[in-house]
């Protein structure tokens, strides 16, 4: 058995920031849009980049309202592995409408290539 000294975390999450702005669902696909699930997973949020195929599926009239009720959309810079204590936000380097969003992402977050999980989590009622 191991004996540990000091702080130990068994969290399966990672801290990161998005410096950007919230956006509406784009009518035409464009890259660089991050989706943050509105319901927390085990140890954090579900965070993934919106792919072209996800955009096509979520944009269907029968899915759009359900999708938008489950995610917040951000456009901007994604900076992984930053906790509150080690990131300094210099607002002068970004457009006026950009803000800092701190997020804990669960390591079970959606993989952009797992369309089955995407449909299950965000398009089905």
pLDDT tens, residue by residue, 69-88: 999 999 988 877 665 556 67
pLDDT at position 10, please? Answer: 45
Paired sense of beta strands 71-80 and 99-106, if any: unpaired
Q: Of 51, 44, 114, which is closest to residue 36 (Cα–Cα)?
A: 44
Q: Tell me the angle at which helices 115-122 and 61-70 cross, rounded to the nearest 10 degrees.
A: 80
What pLDDT does residue 68 have?
Answer: 96
* Angstrom distance (rounded) from CA 77 to CA 100: 10
Higher pLDDT, 5 or 110: 110
Cβ count near 49 (within 10 Å): 13
pLDDT score of 19 more than 80: yes
């Amino acid at each position: 058995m191991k004996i540990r000294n000091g702080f130990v975390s068994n969290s399966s999450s990672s801290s990161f920031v998005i410096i950007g702005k919230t956006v509406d669902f784009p009518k035409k696909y464009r890259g660089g849009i991050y989706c943050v699930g509105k319901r927390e997973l085990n140890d954090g949020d579900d965070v993934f980049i919106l792919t072209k195929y996800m955009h096509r599926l979520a944009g269907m009239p029968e899915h759009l309202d359900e999708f938008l009720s489950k995610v917040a959309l951000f456009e901007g810079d994604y900076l992984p592995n930053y906790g509150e204590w080690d990131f300094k936000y210099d607002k002068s380097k970004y457009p006026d409408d950009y803000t800092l969003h701190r997020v804990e992402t669960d390591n079970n977050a959606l993989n952009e290539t797992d369309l089955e999980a995407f449909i299950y989590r965000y398009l089905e009622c």
